[in-house]
Structure 1
Amino acid sequence: MTVSLVIVSHSERLAHGVAELAGQMAQGEVTIAVAGGSADGSLGTSIDKVMDALQQANSPDGTLVLLDLGSAVMTTEMAIEALAPEQAERIKISSAPLVEGAVIAAVEASTGSNLDEVAQAAEGAVMVPKVRDKESE
C-alpha cells in the first residue's frame, strides 16, 4: 500500500480537477479521494463527504488531507474526530498549497515514502516558484 490523499474543496469541480491532475502525475499509483462542495452540490463543505472520502482513502500507511480554504479545515477536523482512533491517528492535515501540494504529495507517495515524508514534501510546495524573477537573471 501507499500513503493516500484526500482533496477537500469548497468546489466539487475543483476537488475532482486537482485529484485528476495529481493522479496523472503519480501515474495512478496513489489512492486520491475527493470531498468537494456541500451536500446539495453548491459551494461549501460537507462533513459527510469528507468522512466518505476519508473512508475511501483509508490506508494503513496513512492519509494526507489537502484543502482549499479555512472552513474546509474545520469540517475535516470534525470528520477526523468522528473516526475510530486507530484510523484518525493515521491522518494528517496539510497546510500546503492545494494544487502544487497535491501534485507533489501524489508523486512522493507513489515512490513509497511514508506519511511524514509525503506531508513534508507537500509542505515544501510553497517554496516552488511559479515565475522566475527577471531581475535575478
Structure 2
Amino acid sequence: MLPLLACGDTCVIVIPGRTKKKPEHPTELESREEAKKFQEEEKMVLAVDLLNPSPAAEARKHKLKTLVPAPRSFFMDVKCPGCFTITTVFSHAQTVVICQGCTTVLCQPTGGKARLTEGCSFRRK
C-alpha cells in the first residue's frame, strides 16, 4: 500500500522510485574511483611480451604472422655423392632435380620442401 501524507486539505501521494533520478549509488562511485586509482597506480602486465617473443614462439607462427614477416624458403647448394659436383636447388623445388655430371637424382618434390636423396649434403645460401 502507498503511504499517504496529509498537507492541509490536499493529500500528497509519495511513490517510491518515481522521484527525480538520484546520482549513482555512493558505493558504485567509490568502486569506480578505486578502479581508476588502481589503473593509474598499477601498470597491468601482460603474461606474454609481444615485442620480444621467444624464438620457439616465433617458429610456431605462420610466416606472415611473425614479428618480421619473411619467407621460409631458401636456395641451397647440393653436393652430389657420386661426382661431387655442386648444384643450386630451391628448397621447395616442384620437379625432380638431376645432377648434370652423373644423372643421379638429387632431390624429389613433396607437398612442401623437397626431399634430398640419401648421401647428398647441402648448405643453405
* TM-score normalised by L of structure 2: 0.23
- Which one has the largest radius of gyration? 2
TM-score for both structures, normalised by structure 1: 0.21
Structure (1/2) with the larger strand percentage:
2
**Richer in helix (by share):** 1
Which structure has more relative contact order (CA 8 Å, sep 6+)? It is 1
